[in-house]
């Protein structure tokens, strides 16, 4: 790139512009998505090792755009965060998921250790009404708070402040807190002292290395040891092979999630999987 501001504009300008237009279009379409019934929630089971029994599910939002087809949440969630739409979409996902969880749990043995995990973005945690929203939804769905796990990222609560206050209030309500993508932030260990945490979700990038070199495996081992020492649950994410699942068990993991077990599925498919497990 030339150093003059003018040539930079020529070089990067149109591309940035196109990006901004694309973003604005996506944001406009997304603002209509809820009203137009384009959003759905899929659920990916979290299973016990080694047996693979379903211990709960993670809710993952899906968007079927009228002309583009499926748009990945990795693309539209950041857009929803920047525009603030995530507050509305997040509340919708939460209500849908808690409703579904109450139905699944009532069909199971009450004593079954079954939980619904829902992702919350930084923007939602900064919303003053978020805790009240969660409490109202749990009440409406008659779902005990301990059946709900809210997944947060390290970066969302890293700065302390209101986001951290929200997490503390949620925890005081009896909701479980999971640290998502654990290990990928820059304050993972320090955060465990200040933020109430019940579950560590070990990021796929670490799980990928579990059948690799000793060095790669060391990270996954360390996280397992931290979880055991602090009496936290640890969930290994993105498990794609039997070899990974076997090794994770040897390293002390009791919970896993990944394509090797189940992909994210529409609710009917989860209902069928639960029924198959119960042998009915």
Q: What's the closest the beta carbon of residue 13 comes to ligand C2E, in angstroms? A: 30
Whichever of 119 and 166 has its CB closer to Ca ion, that residue is 119
Cβ atoms of 64 and 70 closer than 8 Å: yes
Q: What's the closest the beta carbon of residue 207 comes to ligand C2E, in angstroms? A: 8
Q: Which of residues 145-204 bind Ca ion (CB under 5 A)?
A: 151, 180-181
Q: What's the closest the beta carbon of residue 214 comes to ligand C2E, in angstroms? A: 23
Decide: residue 176, CB within 10 A, 0-12 exposed, 13-18 middle, 19+ buried. Answer: buried
Whichever of 5 and 238 has its CB closer to ligand C2E, that residue is 238
Q: What's the closest the beta carbon of residue 65 comes to ligand C2E, in angstroms? A: 15
Whichever of 151 and 154 has its CB closer to Ca ion, that residue is 151
Residue 29 binds Ca ion, judged by CB under 5 A: no
Cβ atoms of 251 and 221 closer than 8 Å: yes
Q: What's the closest the beta carbon of residue 206 comes to Ca ion, in angstroms? A: 11
189 binds, among ligand C2E, Ca ion, none (CB under 5 to 8 A by kind): none
Decide: residue 94, CB within 10 A, 0-12 exposed, 13-18 middle, 19+ buried. Answer: buried
Whichever of 29 and 55 has its CB closer to Ca ion, that residue is 55
Task: Spell out, one character per residue from 110 to 129, where the chain touches Ca ion: x when CB under 5 A holds, - when not.
Answer: ---------x----------
Which one-letter DSSP state was computed for residue 122? H
Q: What's the closest the beta carbon of residue 202 comes to Ca ion, in angstroms? A: 9
What does each C-alpha distance from 120 to 77, 170, 227, 249, 273 come to in angstroms? 11, 12, 22, 28, 26
State how far the Cα of 110 lies from the Cα of 133, in Å rounded to an integer.
25
Whichever of 12 and 259 has its CB closer to ligand C2E, that residue is 259
Q: What is the gyration radius of the CA atoms in the chain, in angstroms?
A: 20
State how far the Cα of 151 lies from the Cα of 38, in Å rounded to an integer.
24
Residues of this chain that bind ligand C2E (CB under 6 A): 44, 59-61, 72-74, 77, 86, 90, 93, 119-121, 180-181, 238-240, 257-259, 264
Task: Give Cβ neighbours of residue 56 (< 8 Å, ≥ 6 apart).
Answer: 45, 46, 113, 114, 115, 116, 117, 149
Site residues, Ca ion (CB under 5 A)? 119, 151, 180-181, 237
């Amino acid at each position: 790139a030339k150093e003059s501001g003018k040539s930079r504009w020529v070089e990067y300008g149109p591309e940035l512009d196109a990006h901004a237009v694309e973003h604005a279009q996506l944001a406009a379409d997304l603002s209509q998505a809820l009203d137009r019934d384009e959003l759905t929630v899929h659920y990916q089971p979290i299973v016990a090792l080694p047996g693979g029994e379903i211990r709960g599910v993670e809710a993952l939002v899906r968007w079927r755009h009228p002309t583009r087809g499926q748009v990945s949440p990795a693309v539209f969630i950041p857009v929803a965060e920047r525009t603030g739409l995530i507050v509305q979409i997040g509340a919708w996902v939460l209500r849908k998921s808690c409703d579904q969880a109450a139905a699944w749990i009532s069909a199971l043995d009450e004593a079954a250790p079954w939980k619904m995990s829902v992702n919350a973005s930084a923007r939602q945690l900064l919303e003053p009404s978020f805790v009240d929203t969660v409490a109202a939804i749990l009440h409406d769905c008659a779902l005990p708070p301990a059946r709900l796990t809210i997944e947060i990222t390290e970066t969302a609560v890293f700065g302390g402040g209101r986001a951290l206050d929200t997490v503390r209030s949620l925890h005081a309500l009896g909701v479980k807190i999971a640290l998502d993508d654990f290990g990928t932030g820059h304050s993972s260990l320090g955060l465990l002292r200040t933020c109430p945490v019940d579950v560590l979700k070990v990021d796929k990038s670490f799980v990928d290395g579990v059948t690799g070199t000793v060095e790669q495996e060391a990270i996954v081992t360390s996280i397992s040891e931290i979880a055991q020492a602090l009496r936290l649950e640890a969930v290994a994410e993105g498990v794609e092979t039997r070899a990974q699942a076997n090794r994770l068990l040897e390293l002390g993991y009791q919970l896993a999630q990944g394509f090797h077990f189940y992909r994210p599925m529409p609710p009917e498919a989860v209902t069928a999987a639960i029924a198959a497990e119960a042998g009915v």
